Amino acid sequence: MTLNRSILLSTVLYVIAISAVIAVLGHGKPAKVISLFAVSGLATGALYALGGIGLVVLYRATGVLNIAYGAMGAAAAMFAWQLGQWGIIPPLTWVCGIALALVLSLTYGRGIAPRLAFQPPVVKAVATLGAALIILGGVNFFWVDDVRKFSLPTDTIGIQILGLRVTATRLIVLLTAIAVVIVIQSYLKHSIRGLQMRSIANDRALSALLGIPILRVETLAWGISGLLAGFTGLLFGDLIRLEPTVITFMVIPAIAAAICGRLENLWLVLIGGLSIGLIESLMTLSPLFKSIRPVTPFAIAVLAMLWMQRGTRLIFDEEK
Amino acid sequence: MNPLSIISGQSPSTKLAFVFGFVSFVVLPSVLGAQWTDIVTSTTCFAIAAAGIAFLYGRVGMVSLTQVGLMGVGGWIMLRLSHGTTLPFEINLILAAFGAMGFGVILSLPSLRLRGLYLALITLMAAGGFEVLFAAFQFPNGGDGFWGVQTATEAGVRRPAIALSDSAYLRYVIGCAILGFLLIELNRRLKPGRAWAMLSQSEAAAMSASINVVRHKIWAFALSGFLAGIAGALLAGNIGLLDPSTFRAGESILLFALVVVGGSTYWLGCIIAAVLYRILPALLNDWGLDPDLAFIIFGIGLLHALITAPKGIASQILDRRARVAAPKEAQQSIEIADLNVRFGGVVALDNVSVTFDKAIVGIIGPNGAGKTTLMNAISGFIANTGTIQSGATELTSLAPHKRSQWGLRRSFQREELSENLSIFDNVLVQLDADPMPPADKQAAVHKALAFVDLQDQAEDMVADLGGFERRLVDLAKCVAGAPRVILLDEPAGGMSSDETRQLADLILAIKDHCGAQVLLIDHDVDLVAKVCEDTMVLDFGRRIAMGPTAQVLNDPAVVKAYLGSAEE
Amino acid sequence: MRRLILPLTLVSAFGATGALADESAPHCGANTGEAATGEPIKIGGIHGNAAPGDFSSSTDAAAAYFSCVNANGGIHGRPIEYLVENDQWNPELAGQAASKLLVDEAVVAMVGNGSFLEMAVNAGTYKDADMMVMASACAVSECFESSNIVSTNQGPLGSNVGVIQYMQEELGVQSVACISLAIPNVGTWSCDAVTGYMEENGGTAQSVFLNPAAPDVNSAMLEAIATGADTMLVNLPAGLATAVLKAAEEQDLRDAYKWAAPTTLYDLSVPAALGEYWDGHIYVNAELAPFTDGGDDNQNWIKVMDGFANADDPRDTFSQSGYLSAKFFVETLLKMDAGDVGDREKVNAAITGISGYASDLMCGPYYVGEADFHYPNHAGHVVLIKDGSFEVVRDCFEYNSAYFDPHIAIETTLGLR
């Protein structure tokens, strides 16, 4: 009852806030211009959302926030590009790129993550920075600075939405994000493995006592996350740019989207990511804010987190 | 512990710190070449910033991933003032430090609601925001207007008049670093340090020990921001200008990770973090190693250190243990009327009205009966309706730490002591908020330790104590100073019968020792029967019996509650 | 992926070395064919090579030329010891590198520097040390507007003004949107100069600044369109420029605007990366002679690189520029008395005295002189991206912006006009 009221309140406030932002930023601009920037923003927002969803899927199952997520994606994109340069047929290059991210993710998940299990979540998260540095260093070593472009055949197909041409690749990002949310949600909810994942995320030691095959479940989570990282990396390489450092550090705005869902609610991550992209793009319309529009993900994440934490007290937090 | 004892007779680690600081200050600037003077200067700047996040994490248990961003704030202010005004370097340095400190205070606000990974991520978001702002507005380079940016850099930052050359500037920076480390050490060893030690373990414990948690958290972040500001301003003085790439969000994560690798609870840990952050890459660069390979080596080292040295490299070097324990639960005598506590739909305490007027009162009941909830309500940790009063004092309206200051003491089911403080300091924490003169506090602590017969071990570290001695320290905390009501939550849990007997004797002696009333929860009915004049029985949040102990223990309703209806 | 193809190119490099004895031998310094054996002369160079970009090709080329000189009699018999430091795009490392070279190693001169930020950090240091730096790959304003640095390349200002001058004169461009990074001493500085040029010539220009932290270039593209300009000047590093052009391709904007870019896009990997869509549509400035030019210096540069550089060192504009700085430097030293070439003060005085050096790589004369600014190279070429490569559409021409008036005044004083 109170829960429903809280959701209702949040929804109403969210709608009011978004409308207010659009009204303020778009004030005095023709509707066509606003819609142009809105569509463009949603296209970028879908990228944030997809990144955030991949982070949350892993975090929920293993308690690890993987900062190396972007680096794994960058490795996938560069590898796929390289295979393409060598004349291998495109679909095979994509599969190989994603497979590389899968291998990297599993290597970390099986080889290193368990040795850090005793560390607090923050240290587990910053440790993945070590993996990010290794992967990024390796990628930059093999592929020295040069101009490259990675394209998917879907780039050439596009439809007009409110005056903006939106390519099929961008639609794939959005649809994948939604599909992943639906599939993962129902998997976690309805399958035994999903239940086990939730249990492990909650208390690893206790889950072990209960006889949950921790290694197997965590391996599965790292595997899913690796596939998503590779897939996301390819799309980032196509839609943002094929520069390993840029793709690697896309993880920070993706974390912002993940925070919007409190690292657990995938639907909120999706909404958060899209909202971030929308507002960030609309900020271009404001002479005052356009130079600092990349601040949007961080500002929204902080506001979302503080809103979700309203009214809580910390005192016995540890005993939970 | 008084400030004098900081200087005299310290641990080997502290002595090493003094030697290290002295040697760095005197020797380094005179022997290093030009390149290494620059490298060590920048390393020292980052060591100051690292010290800020290290104590925040190691001592207060809070994570900040914004430290390098805050350095940028300090550096920005330094550049702005240096280009826009004729103020001396020192004034600019202080203003830069206070500016960053202001942002530190803002950053502390989420920490009142969040901790752990969530708090870390909020601070990471702040770091991301700083990165964007620095990239958008750049660092002042002599231009006009508020942002002070023009298309070409003028002469760099004015250096302090006494440190114009690179080597003199290095000495100046090392001097600032030493002062910065001393500032932390001073805070750590005095009141704030003890408060931080407590609240890093348990905020509940801290509150019950009269600690104003909000103020101490803000102060910790402010101090950390202050050091970041100093570090950033000094860095600006080193190279004369700043570039946004130095202050990316990833750098803050990296510096934090290196602090964990170095060892966040050790002064040496901060030095190691800064050395790894700046000297190692400079060395690899100097050796002509490909910077990409340097990244790989760096990443491997980071993971390796986190796996093999969980407490940091410094702990392996200094071989010292750190970390924190926590306080217990204590309570005192009281009139309670219509007390209700609900957790969602669950009624934890249902209209409890009772007056405890004997020196020692027991509270018993099956698991989940609401015993500890009652103590939490009396301590002020949970919301309740109804009133709790002691004589003329209305406790219900007081914040937990105010209740503690009034004289409400409490032990918890597991003792909550700070392992990296001595026995003496652990007890002194309890009296920090007390207005009595320091000499009286010392005397009060000694008296309390004599009561539990630990006066000869006053300077021992709690980390070295066994379970029973910890209980005794906890009891000493409860009786130190002028307590009015002491709440003991299962003090005999896990004790041998011999130890329980000693404990019973001590509880019986409390009234004579300090005049406080004792409320005792324990499952050991023998202990309750032995020491309590009155006893109250709770079941499902309701008071089912209250009166002289022997009488209550024979009440059929009590027997039923304990043993189940089959027993009837 | 240069490293993976390394074994392959090594083979071809050996082929080149094997043929060194005949007509393909480069011409370096005194060209005696004898290795120099005397006391080495220490020369320094700083490049920036790290994640955002690699500026090392200028020092690579300078190093190759110096090796060639050392194998050909050196400087009056003394070899050059070329000490190169990497600033890794980190201002602290840049300062440290200058300290090391100027103080610890006491180098006689600094030649071939190529970096995005080293010049901004060290301009004051060079001035205090009275070191006249012969840089090769500059991006920041401090490199062109300070007393002790002279660069062979043009940097973003000249490069952008040059291509826009071509667009205005040949294609009748009226209004320009200058899309650049929000970095004052690079983006703002060069876009301001473009605005200045357009206004002098009855047109307009507006700047669209991109925050380097922004992943999304679409909004910047839309913002540029909103300026209503008829020409898009993509004043960005190659990687980012490619992303902006890709966003434009996504919206099929190619034919709605004219497209121009500074030298950053004059890189052999660019046409392929941009793809067929842009073929014949982007005009790019080339600061030095086209890579395929038949001039003596350009041919000698290729030979020096083949004979003395690593096979995977890039052959780009910065490489030409590094070669040229090194060559001018060596010419200067060879003109000095043998006893003076190890003396920093005299060497730097000689560098400052350089005037009227010429090369087919550069459109105008090279000179240094005493001034608070140095911009010898303010004439260039314009090329069009065509058939997977570049086609020269206008040969050497001088940029007519009022910005260069003081420079022209100095050239007149030096008797170069």
Q: Please state whether beta strands C133-135 and C149-151 pair in parallel, antiparallel, or not at all (unpaired).
A: parallel
Tokens 């100073």 belong to: B481
Q: What's the rounded Cα separation, in Å, for the pair A234 and A230?
A: 6
- The answer to whether residue C406 neighbours chain A at the CB level (below 8 Å) is no
Identify the residue among C3, C211, C240, C250 best suited for mutation to test binding to A, counting A beta carbons within 10 A and taking the highest. C250
Q: Do C184 and B35 touch (CB under 8 A)?
A: no
The beta-carbon neighbor of A294 closest among C4, C211, C242 is C211
Q: What average pLDDT does the segment A184-207 reach? A: 78
Q: What are phi and psi of C233, to 5 degrees?
A: -105, 110
Q: In what order do the strands lie in the sheet with C282-286?
A: C204-210, C175-181, C231-235, C258-261, C282-286, C379-386, C389-398
CA distances to A36, B112, B344 from A33, rounded to whole Å, are 5, 42, 49
Same domain, B120 and B255: yes
Same domain, B125 and B225: yes
Give the residue on B whose Cα is nearest the Cα of A145.
B292
- Residue B406 is part of a domain; what is its CATH number? 3.40.50.300
Find residue C179's DSSP bridge partners. C208, C234
Closest alpha carbon to B417 in B362, B347, B465: B465
- CA distance, residue A263 to nearest chain B CA (Å): 9
Same domain, B290 and B343: no
Same domain, B355 and B307: no
Looking at residue B10, what is its pLDDT? 60
**Residues whose CB falls within 8 Å of the CB of residue A24, separated by 6 or more in sequence, listed in order:** none
CA distances to A227, A257, B322, B376 from B429, rounded to whole Å, are 52, 42, 18, 21
CA distances to B248, B251, B345, C64 from B133, rounded to whole Å, are 10, 15, 47, 42
Chain A / chain B CB contacts < 8 angstroms: 151
* Vertex B137: Cα angle to B133 and B141 (nearest 5): 135
- When the pLDDT of each residue in chain C is averaged and rounded to a whole number, the result is 87
Identify the residue among C1, C2, C47, C96 best suited for mutation to test binding to B, counting B beta carbons within 10 A and taking the highest. C96
Q: What's the rounded Cα separation, in Å, for the pair C47 and C60?
A: 9
Q: Do B296 and A134 touch (CB under 8 A)?
A: yes
B150 belongs to a structural domain: no
Q: What's the rounded Cα separation, in Å, for the pair B379 and B385?
A: 14
Q: Fill in the amino acid letter for C252.
A: D
Q: Which chains neighbour B (Cβ–Cβ under 8 Å, 3 or more pairs)?
A: A, C
Q: What's the rounded Cα separation, in Å, for the pair A224 and A58?
A: 8
Q: Which two tokens stand for residue B104?
A: 């530190």
The beta-carbon neighbor of B256 closest among A126, A305, A309 is A126
Q: Choose between C47 and B568: higher pLDDT.
A: C47
Same domain, B403 and B285: no
- Interface subset of B 267-306, CB within 8 angstroms of A: 290, 292-296, 298-303, 306
Q: Do A147 and C267 touch (CB under 8 A)?
A: yes
Q: Do B246 and C103 touch (CB under 8 A)?
A: no
Give the residue on B whose Cα is nearest the Cα of A68.
B299
Q: For domain C6-154+291-377, which CATH number applies: 3.40.50.2300, 3.30.750.24, 3.20.20.70, 3.20.20.80? A: 3.40.50.2300
DSSP state at residue B142: S
What element of type H or E holds C204? strand C204-210
Q: Please state whether beta strands C204-210 and C109-110 pair in parallel, antiparallel, or not at all (unpaired).
A: unpaired
The beta-carbon neighbor of B38 closest among C96, C124, C183 is C96
Q: What's the rounded Cα separation, in Å, for the pair A146 and C4?
A: 14
B11 belongs to a structural domain: no
Q: What's the rounded Cα separation, in Å, for the pair B255 and B264?
A: 11
What would the DSSP string read from start to end of C20-89?
GGTTT----TT--SSPP-SSPEEEEEEE-EETTEE-THHHHHHHHHHHHHHTTTTBTTBPEEEEEEE-TT
What would the DSSP string read from start to end of B66-110?
-HHHHHHHHHHHHHHHHHH----HHHHHHHHHHHHHHHHHHHHHH
Same domain, B192 and B286: yes
The tally of CA atoms less than 13 A away on the side-chain side of residue A10 is 19
Q: Do B124 and A134 touch (CB under 8 A)?
A: no
For residues C24, C30, C36 and C38, what is the CA-based torsion angle, rounded to 10 degrees?
Answer: -170
Q: Do C215 and A294 touch (CB under 8 A)?
A: yes
Q: Which chains neighbour C (Cβ–Cβ under 8 Å, 3 or more pairs)?
A: A, B
- Residue B72 is part of a domain; what is its CATH number? 1.10.3470
The tally of CA atoms less than 13 A away on the side-chain side of residue B399 is 12
Q: Kindly indicate the confidence band of residue C23, based on its pLDDT and cuts at 50, 70 and 90.
A: low
Q: What's the rounded Cα separation, in Å, for the pair B518 and B358?
A: 8
Q: Are A102 and A226 in contact (CB under 8 A)?
A: yes
Q: What's the rounded Cα separation, in Å, for the pair B490 and C115?
A: 69
Same domain, B183 and B222: yes
Q: What is the pLDDT of residues B238-276, one digit of tens each?
A: 988 888 889 998 899 889 989 988 888 888 889 999 999
CATH of domain C156-286+381-413: 3.40.50.2300
The parent domain of residue B412 ranges over: 335-567
Looking at residue B328, what is its pLDDT? 34
pLDDT of B32 over the 60 cut: yes
* Vertex C99: Cα angle to C95 and C105 (nearest 5): 145
pTM of the model: 0.78
Which residues in chain C are classed under CATH 3.40.50.2300? 6-154+291-377, 156-286+381-413
**Residues whose CB falls within 8 Å of the CB of residue B521, separated by 6 or more in sequence, listed in order:** B362, B363, B364, B371, B372, B375, B487, B488, B489, B490
Q: What is the pLDDT of residues B500-550, one digit of tens each?
A: 888 888 888 888 788 888 888 887 778 888 888 888 988 888 888 888 887
* Vertex B523: Cα angle to B521 and B524 (nearest 5): 105
Q: What is the pLDDT of residues B63-85, one digit of tens each?
A: 899 999 999 999 999 999 998 88
pLDDT of C204 over the 90 cut: yes
Q: What is the pLDDT of residues B187-228, one digit of tens each?
A: 888 878 778 877 776 777 777 777 788 888 899 999 999 999
Q: What average pLDDT does the segment B34-53 reach? A: 93
- CA distance, residue C24 to nearest chain B CA (Å): 32
Coil/strand/helix, residue B362: strand
Q: What average pLDDT does the segment C259-265 reach? A: 92
Looking at residue B333, what is its pLDDT? 57
Same domain, B171 and B94: yes
- The answer to whether residue B256 neighbours chain A at the CB level (below 8 Å) is yes
Q: Do B114 and A263 touch (CB under 8 A)?
A: no
Give the residue on A whose Cα is nearest the Cα of B256.
A126
Q: What is the pLDDT of residues C302-361, one digit of tens each?
A: 999 999 998 888 888 899 999 999 999 999 999 999 888 889 999 999 999 998 898 999
Closest alpha carbon to B230 in B29, B106, B50: B50
Identify the residue among A147, A159, A278 best suited for mutation to test binding to C, counting C beta carbons within 10 A and taking the highest. A147
Tokens 């590779």 belong to: A230
- When the pLDDT of each residue in chain B is averaged and rounded to a whole number, the result is 83
Q: Do B34 and C86 touch (CB under 8 A)?
A: no
Q: Are B500 and B481 in contact (CB under 8 A)?
A: no
Q: Which two tokens stand for residue B335?
A: 């009139």
The beta-carbon neighbor of A295 closest among B133, B250, B300 is B133
- Interface subset of A 66-125, CB within 8 angstroms of B: 67, 112, 115-116, 118-123, 125
* Vertex B373: Cα angle to B371 and B377 (nearest 5): 120
Looking at residue C161, what is its pLDDT? 94
**Residues whose CB falls within 8 Å of the CB of residue B73, separated by 6 or more in sequence, listed in order:** B96, B99, B100, B103, B130, B228, B229, B232
Q: What's the rounded Cα separation, in Å, for the pair B470 and B566?
A: 40
Q: Is A78 exposed, middle or buried (0-12, 13-18, 19+ CB in 10 A)?
A: buried
Q: What is the pLDDT of residues B268-323, one digit of tens each?
A: 889 999 999 989 888 888 888 887 888 888 889 889 888 887 778 887 777 543 33
Q: Which two tokens stand for residue B356?
A: 């405890």
Q: What is the pLDDT of residues A156-188, one digit of tens each?
A: 888 888 777 888 888 888 898 899 899 988 888
Q: What's the rounded Cα separation, in Å, for the pair C362 and C380?
A: 8
Q: Which two tokens stand for residue A262?
A: 């409190």
pLDDT of B395 over the 60 cut: yes
Q: Are B46 and B278 in contact (CB under 8 A)?
A: yes
- By percentage, how much of chain B surpasses pLDDT 90? 20
B12 belongs to a structural domain: no
Number of domains in chain B: 2
Q: Which residues of B touch C51 (CB under 8 A)?
A: 291
Q: What are phi and psi of C76, to 5 degrees?
A: 50, 40
B192 belongs to a structural domain: yes
Same domain, B295 and B348: no
Closest alpha carbon to A251 in B64, B249, B400, B205: B249
**Residues whose CB falls within 8 Å of the CB of residue A97, separated by 6 or more in sequence, listed in order:** A76, A77, A79, A80, A83, A230, A233, A234
Q: What's the rounded Cα separation, in Å, for the pair C66 and A149?
A: 36
Q: Please state whether beta strands B385-390 and B335-343 pair in parallel, antiparallel, or not at all (unpaired).
A: antiparallel
Looking at residue C17, what is its pLDDT? 42
Domain limit, last residue, from B318, B347, B380: B318
Q: Which two tokens stand for residue B420?
A: 């990296």
Q: Which residues of A touch B307 (CB under 8 A)?
A: 112, 115-116
Give Dmax (Cα) for chain C.
65
Q: Which two tokens stand for residue B310?
A: 């969980």
Q: Are B255 and B247 in contact (CB under 8 A)?
A: no
- The answer to whether residue C184 neighbours chain A at the CB level (below 8 Å) is no
- The answer to whether residue A289 neighbours chain B at the CB level (below 8 Å) is no
Q: Do B117 and A137 touch (CB under 8 A)?
A: no
